[in-house]
């Protein structure tokens, strides 16, 4: 899990320190102590790692500029007495050259390249702020990998569920891959949930395109607000259907909302917030229907209430898990 809060020392101080370390590491020889100090600084806060990556990305992009132009912008004034100040000036000039050549002056706080990995533990929720202004809300037991490039913003949901609030950028589509499904947007708000056998997509605002992933000539469908779909393991996208987006994303406020849900669906949803899964004894029990609201951090209350709502009982199995049986 990664802390997304700003570093206490402030963004300007972090950028200055990142630049200092960037210069230090350009030296032909860096002693062990300096490398240890750099590693410690990098590990202090995710923002340290992020700002250092910004410099690395811009530095590596220098290869995109013509050599003559880069050399002209990197010429060093003669009035310097020590090697490191000269190098610092050269590094700064080189980064400036990259910024000029790629037109990044207006997007210095939004680097073309960015990577990150974020996850949540059992019962935990987390909001991740991305450098383009987009945010991602992670549900319990969820994991994402973020990869931003110059012309594409990509996120892979490797486990769990996430709500994406995407900043509009027509030149850099935002692509979410989950299981066999792929969702492409330029700016919208939508939820993606990855289960064992399928990926579910629900749109709260805007429009998204959903298609199978890694499937040649995979057909796609467009979803608007209040619509959803599912993608199976073979990458087949189901027809769009109406959804209650507020109900399906109530987990963001710590609620489990069930509206005529089957008991098998209730058990599967509540299991996401427990160490041990909840199972149902048979199809008769699984097909019973429930309409109610519970707190996601207190699924024991749900199990305790079930026998007073439906003709069922709850028993504890030898492995510590709970099973819902007929009364």
| CA dist., res. 300 & res. 229, Å (int) | 31
Domain spanning 254-326 has what CATH number? 3.55.50.30
Question: Contact at 8 Å (CB) between 190 and 183?
Answer: yes
- Kindly state the average pLDDT of the residues 126-149: 93
* Radius of gyration of the chain from its Cα atoms, rounded to whole angstroms: 25
Q: How confident is the model at residue 112 (pLDDT cuts 50, 70, 90)?
A: low
Q: List % helix, strand, coil for the chain (3-state, nearest 5).
A: 35, 35, 35
Q: Which two tokens stand for residue 194?
A: 């990855």
Average pLDDT on 225-236 reads 93
Token pair 């891959």 is at which residue? Answer: 177
Where are the chain's structural domains? 11-107, 114-245, 254-326
- CA atoms within 13 Å, Cβ hemisphere of 193: 17
d(C-alpha 211, C-alpha 217), whole Å: 10
- The pLDDT value recorded for residue 240 is 95
Residue with tokens 């330029």: 186
Weakest mean pLDDT among 40-54, 92-106, 285-299: 92-106
Over residues 255-271, mean pLDDT: 94
**Between 171 and 144, whose confidence is greater?**
144
Classify domain 114-245 at the CATH topology level.
Jelly Rolls (2.60.120)
Q: Scanning the structure block, which residue is given the tokens 């469908």?
A: 221
Tokens representing 103 are 């037109």
């Amino acid at each position: 899990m990664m802390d997304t809060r700003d570093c206490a020392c402030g963004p300007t101080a972090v950028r200055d320190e990142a630049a200092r370390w960037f210069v230090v590491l350009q030296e032909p020889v860096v002693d062990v102590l300096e490398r240890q100090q750099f590693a410690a600084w990098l590990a202090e806060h995710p923002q340290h790692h992020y700002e250092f990556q910004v410099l690395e990305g811009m530095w590596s992009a220098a290869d995109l500029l013509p050599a003559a132009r880069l050399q002209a912008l990197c010429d060093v004034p003669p009035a310097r007495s020590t090697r490191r100040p000269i190098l610092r000036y050269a590094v700064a000039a080189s980064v400036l050259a990259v910024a000029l050549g790629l037109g990044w002056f207006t997007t210095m706080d939004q680097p073309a390249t960015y990577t990150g990995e974020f996850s949540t533990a059992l019962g935990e929720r987390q909001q991740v702020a991305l450098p383009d202004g987009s945010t991602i809300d992670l549900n319990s037991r969820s994991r994402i990998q973020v990869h931003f490039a110059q012309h594409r913003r990509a996120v892979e949901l490797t486990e769990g569920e996430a709500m994406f609030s995407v900043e509009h950028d027509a030149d850099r589509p935002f692509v979410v891959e989950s299981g066999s499904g792929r969702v492409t947007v330029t700016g919208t708000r939508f939820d993606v949930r990855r289960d064992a056998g399928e990926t579910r997509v629900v749109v709260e605002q805007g429009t998204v395109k959903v298609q199978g992933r890694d499937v040649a000539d995979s057909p796609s469908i467009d979803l608007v607000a209040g619509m959803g779909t599912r993608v199976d393991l073979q990458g087949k996208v189901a027809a769009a259907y109406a959804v209650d987006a507020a109900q399906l994303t109530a987990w963001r406020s710590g609620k489990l909302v069930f509206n005529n849900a089957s008991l098998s669906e209730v058990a599967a949803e509540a299991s996401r917030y427990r160490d041990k899964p909840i199972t149902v004894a048979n199809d008769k029990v699984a097909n019973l229907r429930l309409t109610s609201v519970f707190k996601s951090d207190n699924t024991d209350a749900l199990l305790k209430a079930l026998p007073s709502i439906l003709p069922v009982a709850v028993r504890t199995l030898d492995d510590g898990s709970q099973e819902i049986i007929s009364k």
